[in-house]
């Protein structure tokens, strides 16, 4: 059972003790965010309330925000870029629109795996991308690894979104890092041969397709499943309840994970305040709010999980430094194209 909204805001109330008194900064922070306003604004409001730092939020698509930062150059008003997927953070770094920053608090609270090796970005929330299976048609004992999804036994049984999706590109990049280019291309061709239908829609659509019997397995981020379980739409809740989570590669490298994260822009005029905001978003209480409200895993250790996340059980996560996902992105895209993954 998911906690009530009153409990969510009770978690927010605990944040006050970790922040300096109001008026400690006479400043502001300007954010470009691909995260929807509802998924972050309550925390930004709390930050402003406790520090006196005004937060100005502009939301948009990942690609559009990156293009805006490139076009504006050093005249950009943005101090922070908040976006989903290490691949997008890598692209921003490669485009020269971010800068390195140092924070002892972030180094202490966020594992190295979820930080850029050169200090350009840090992870704020963790997203797992496991295999979801139809409870009434699949014995979880038949499941094992991502690599096994290319087995002919799964022919016509898999749903996954298209190759232009950054989540899938990062998954393939992680496989290249683990198994090598040749083996991963063979795997991708086998996966395409096992698809129940041409890729279409988002992660929620893959879950709905599995529930409806269009496929037996779906590859999707768990926070979409968490959102569906809390949906006001009975049909969406029913679809989510029809599938279960399987954590692949538990006897090896672990399940593929990614992040939403933050980078200080190269043009930042309020760098100190921007770093203070990132530190705030990485506090245990803020991490707990993300887990409760958004269905995302904390990046740090020892943070309470929501009942929904806890109900899926513990899992071993791949400890690949997520900077590698960005480095291997272009290779992953070319590989997916050669495999016929559209």
Binding-site residue numbers for Fe cation are 223-224
Exposure pattern of 281-319 as b/e (b: 16+ CB <10 Å)? Answer: bbbbbbbbbbbbbbbbbbbbeebebbebbeebeebebbe
Instruction: Give CA–CA dist 132/146, Å, rounded.
Output: 12
Are the CB atoms for 90 and 325 separated by under 8 Å? yes
Say how far apart CA 134 and CA 15 lie, in whole Å.
39
Dihedral sign, CA of 254, 256, 261, 264? positive
SS (H, E, C) 222-281: HHHHHHHHCCCCHHHHHHHHCEEEECCCCCCCCECEEEEEEEEECCCCCHHHHHHHHHHH
Enumerate the known binding-site residues: 223-224
Residue 234 neighbours by CB distance under 10 Å: 8
Residue appearing with tokens 């245990």: 284
User: Which DSSP letter does residue 255 get?
Assistant: B
Within 10 A of 183 (CB to CB), how many other CB atoms are there?
13
Q: Which residues pair with 54 in a beta bridge?
A: 28
What is the distance between the alpha carbons of residues 337 and 334, in angstroms, rounded to a whole number?
5
């Amino acid at each position: 059972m998911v906690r009530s909204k009153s409990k969510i805001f009770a978690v927010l109330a605990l944040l006050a003790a970790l922040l300096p008194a109001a008026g400690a900064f006479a400043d502001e922070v300007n954010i470009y965010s691909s995260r929807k306003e509802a998924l972050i604004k309550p925390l930004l409001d709390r930050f402003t309330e406790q520090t006196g730092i005004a937060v100005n939020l502009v939301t948009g698509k990942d690609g559009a925000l990156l293009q805006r930062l490139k076009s504006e150059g050093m005249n950009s008003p943005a101090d922070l870029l908040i976006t989903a997927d290490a691949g997008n953070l890598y692209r921003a770094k490669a485009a020269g629109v971010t800068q390195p920053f140092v924070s002892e608090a972030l180094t202490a609270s966020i594992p190295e795996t979820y930080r850029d090796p050169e200090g350009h970005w840090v992870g704020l929330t963790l997203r797992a991308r496991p295999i979801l299976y139809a409870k009434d048609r699949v014995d979880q004992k038949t499941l094992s690894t991502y690599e096994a999804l290319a087995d002919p036994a799964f022919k016509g049984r898999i749903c996954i979104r298209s190759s232009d999706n950054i989540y899938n590109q990062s998954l393939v990049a992680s496989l290249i890092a683990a198994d090598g280019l040749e083996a991963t291309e063979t795997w991708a061709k086998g996966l395409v041969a096992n698809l129940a239908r041409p890729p279409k829609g988002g992660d929620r659509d893959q879950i709905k397709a599995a529930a409806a019997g269009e496929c037996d397995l779906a590859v999707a981020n768990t926070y979409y499943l968490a959102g569906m379980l809390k949906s006001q739409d009975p049909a969406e809740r029913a679809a989510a309840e029809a599938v279960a989570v399987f954590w692949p590669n538990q006897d090896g490298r672990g399940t593929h994970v990614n992040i939403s994260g933050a980078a200080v822009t190269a043009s930042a005029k309020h760098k100190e305040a921007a770093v203070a905001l990132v530190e705030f978003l990485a506090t245990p209480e803020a991490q707990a709010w993300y887990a409760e409200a958004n269905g995302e895993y904390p990046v740090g250790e020892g943070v309470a999980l929501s009942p929904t996340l806890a109900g899926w059980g513990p899992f071993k996560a791949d400890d690949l430094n997520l900077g590698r996902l960005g480095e291997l992105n272009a290779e992953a895209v070319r590989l997916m194209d050669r495999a016929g993954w559209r």
